[in-house]
Amino acid sequence: MLDRLAGTPSSLDEINRAVPDLEPQIRNKMDGDSLENSFTRTNNASSGRVHAHPYGQITVLGMGSWGTALAMVAATAGRDVRLWGRRNQLSEAVNATRINAEYLPDVPLHDRIMVTSDLAKALEGSEAVLIVTPSLTLRQVCASIRPHLPKGIPLALCCKGIERGTGFLLSHLVSEELPGHPVGALSGPTFAKETALGHPTAATIAFPFSYQDRLDPAKSPAARLAVSMSSAAFRPYVSDDLVGVEIGGAVKNVIAIACGMMTGAGFAENTRAALITRGIDEMKFLAEALGGRRETVTGLSGAGDLTLTCSSMTSRNMSLGVQLGKGIPRSECFDGRDVVVEGEVNAVSVVDLAHRIRVSMPICEAVHSILYEGADLGKAFSDLWARPIESEPRALDIELAHPTTLLRETL
């Protein structure tokens, strides 16, 4: 080996050729390296791809449309799946018909899916858990599953939001309630029906990466869950930026309500494009302030999810906004049905968190003012457009008084 080191190699490639028998991780500088570099260097050094071992059995908690769709994804990928629903009557009906007629009526369940309302049975032998329950009930769900969870198995959040009152990201909440388990998230531009029917779909799976995970990425929860869910139609991407992924998922719901409101009020593509673009900017600054990466927000879990949610009435957030924009009272939206709209909940928690850490989020604040402060929808958005003129990028640091505001002040 010493003979091979004679001379001074001028590049990393030359070092790799000169020292082929060193472990790849020794050459991988851990301080400051991104997850992408960690994968790339390991792959280059070994002249092959990283192979991760999938989980054998996955539990999906939550039998709504998205929970059912994710159960289908995992089963299609070859996993044994246990799908848990809180209501025994629904579980029995789904077991009998093999169709979740209430939430996903057009999709027959895969044979690998076992349906139950018994938490102990759902979690017995599980190697990974997808939590697909509403964010409002997450603490109660954690308390319920605590006695039945196999030790140390990873938990992936498939619900989105920030806890009201505490300002906790949902991963922090789960880590607090269920210590000793890796906690991550699965998020992206995904409508349940399309996903369940096998339409080509992509999403991000994010878990924090430990030092050991960076040395051997294939053994990380993110990588193992990604290969566990991968199929010909469902393509996951791996991330170590859990904060960025969670912020994208929480904020996009609020921005989607804003897009819906303006659409319902009669405005069209220019307005929606402006709200989406500036909404991404709000996501970036909140994520960065909490330790996330701006680039994550431009990916599937941020810009991708936001674009989808703001472009279709399939989204409950967009749909609620459209109905409110048309002047329909909140109590009469969705034909008076009690429909959970995550963005409605998140509008409070997102704005509260932004105020705490002094991040400006004017679109989210406008939605909050309409939903909870009795603000007139037209005036709230008029005020949004009349804010001081800012620079893009913000690094230019320019703020100009808007002529509309000056005119109002003189009247």
Per-residue pLDDT of 208-264, as tens digits, reads 999 999 999 999 999 999 999 999 999 999 999 999 999 999 999 999 999 999 999
Using DSSP, state whether 272 is helix, strand or coil: helix
Cβ–Cβ under 8 Å, residues 83 and 158: no
Question: Cα–Cα distance between 344 and 240 in angstroms, integer?
Answer: 28
- Return the pLDDT at 50: 78
> How do residues 151-185 score in pLDDT, each as one tens digit?
999 999 999 999 989 999 999 999 999 999 999 99
Alpha helices in 135-268 (DSSP H): 138-145, 170-177, 192-196, 211-215, 221-229, 242-264
- Return the pLDDT at 409: 55
Q: Which residues are catalytic?
A: 252
- Return the pLDDT at 49: 78
Any idea where the domains of the chain sit in the sequence? 57-240, 247-410
Q: pTM of the prediction? A: 0.85
- Return the pLDDT at 407: 53
278 Cβ contact partners less than 8 Å away, ≥ 6 residues apart: 363
Cα–Cα distance list, 398 to 363, 388, 391 (Å): 19, 10, 5
- Does the structural domain 247-410 have CATH classification 3.40.50.970? no
Report, as an integer, the average pLDDT of 333-355: 94
Which of the four pLDDT bands, split at 50, 70 and 90, describes residue 197? very high
Kindly report the backbone phi and psi dihedral angles of residue 255, in degrees, each rounded to the nearest multiple of 5, phi listed first: -65, -35
Does position 40 have pLDDT exceeding 80, yes or no? no
Cβ–Cβ under 8 Å, residues 67 and 81: no
The CATH superfamily assigned to 57-240 is: NAD(P)-binding Rossmann-like Domain (3.40.50.720)
Question: Cα–Cα distance between 105 and 338 in angstroms, integer?
Answer: 19
Which DSSP category does 80 fall into?
A: E
Higher per-residue pLDDT: 48 or 327:
327
Question: Cα–Cα distance between 408 and 161 in angstroms, integer?
Answer: 37
